[in-house]
Amino acid sequence: MNEETESPHLPEDESVMIAAFEGWNDAGTAASAALDHMAETWGAREHAILDPEEYHDFQVSRPSITRLASGDRVLSWPGTVISLAQGEWRGGRDIALVRGIEPSMRWRTFAEEILDHAEDLEVSTLITCGALLVDVPHTRPLPTFVTSESAEARALFDLERSDYEGPTGILGVLGHEAELRGITVLSMWVGIPHYVAHPPSPKGTVALLSQIERFLGVPMDLGDLPYEAEAWTRGANELMEDDEEIAQHVERLESMMDEASLPEASGDAIAAEFERFLRRRDGGTGK
């Protein structure tokens, strides 16, 4: 009789930090939406706020004004919040959630401030979450890429080391600085079809949350996200029906995936996807 073996996951007594930032690292806002979902589902409480004056150009990331039900107007500044979810899952693991906007300046200081909080919270593993535009059809499962510089993590989770070289975002900087402090880093990305890149991208958010569920070893309450992902797929189908060029493109992508499935989460695969992403982002220059 074959007994099912439990999938490996992070030790239950270790504190974990999960980070995502809007902007360059977050196609379709899939990653930041995943952090928002976890914070709401887990009832995370605010732990610290990074001063936006230190890191943001407000002409790039502008503050916003909203009016409350009471009639009062509130001014909200862009920035980064660290929240803390505690105790209700197996082992009572603490999870810190870092949710913000990619800073405009002082990236090293920004990363140091976040990691100082991580050390105060005795974080041993940092999971960075991002989303990038890739050539995949919306009709198939969206690809996720997970890599780590930690030999122990690669062996435990059957991961590879990223061979990507080139421009990076705040996730790359934060991950690099965390590794220098002895924190294990798991770099997690989901691919979003470039022809439906406008946010939200709930299918991408679900893909990231499913990976996080795997690493934490606890069930993830997805709430309404599966229904939202189905609605997103229907909307993409309608776009395809209305645009023959997109329909032909999707058919080509489907054929490519049917003939040979996407590569596993390898450094070469991530490097190739980043290069394609940069070419599209910079108008084909790749600079």
At 140, the pLDDT band (50, 70, 90 cuts) reads: confident
Q: What are phi and psi of 41, to 5 degrees?
A: -65, -40
In the prediction, which pLDDT does 87 show? 61
pLDDT given at position 92: 67
pLDDT number for residue 276: 56
Task: Over range 35-63, report the average pLDDT.
Answer: 91
Sort residue 120 into left (φ over 0), alpha (ψ -120 to 50) or beta: alpha
Scanning the chain, the segments in alpha helix (DSSP H) are: 30-41, 107-120, 151-157, 170-180, 202-216, 225-242, 244-259, 267-281
Q: Residue 107: CA atoms inside 13 Å, Cβ hemisphere, count? A: 15
In 3D space, the residue among 91, 92, 95 whose CA is nearest the CA of residue 44 turns out to be 95
206 has a pLDDT exceeding 90: yes
Say which range, 85-89, 185-189, 249-253, has the weakest mean pLDDT.
85-89
Return the pLDDT at 3.
44
Residue 8: band (very low, low, confident or very high) from pLDDT cuts 50, 70, 90: confident
Task: Work out the pLDDT band at 272, boundaries 50, 70, 90.
Answer: low
pLDDT tens-digit readout, 223-244: 999 999 999 999 988 888 888 8
Percent of the chain residues past pLDDT 70, beyond the cut: 86
The alpha carbons of the chain give a radius of gyration, in whole angstroms, of 19
pLDDT band at 287 (very low <50, low <70, confident <90, very high): very low
* pLDDT of residue 285 exceeding 70: no
Q: Which is more confident, 244 or 49?
A: 49
Residue 18: the pLDDT is 97
Average pLDDT of the residues in 195-224 = 92
Longest dimension (CA), the chain: 67
Residue 29 pLDDT greater than 60, yes or no: yes
Which residue's entry shows tokens 């080509």? 252
User: Which residues are bridge partners to 94 per DSSP?
Assistant: 86
Domain annotation for the chain: domains and CATH numbers: 15-281 (3.40.50.10900)
Q: What is the pLDDT of residues 80-111, one digit of tens each?
A: 999 999 765 545 678 999 999 999 999 999 99
pLDDT given for residue 90 in this prediction: 46
Is the pLDDT confidence value at 172 over 90? yes
The pLDDT of residue 58 is: 87
The pLDDT value recorded for residue 182 is: 96
Separation between Cα atoms, residue 101 and residue 97, nearest integer Å? 13
d(CA 6, CA 139): 30
The mean pLDDT of 188-202, rounded to a whole number, is: 93
* CA–centroid distance for 148 within its chain: 15
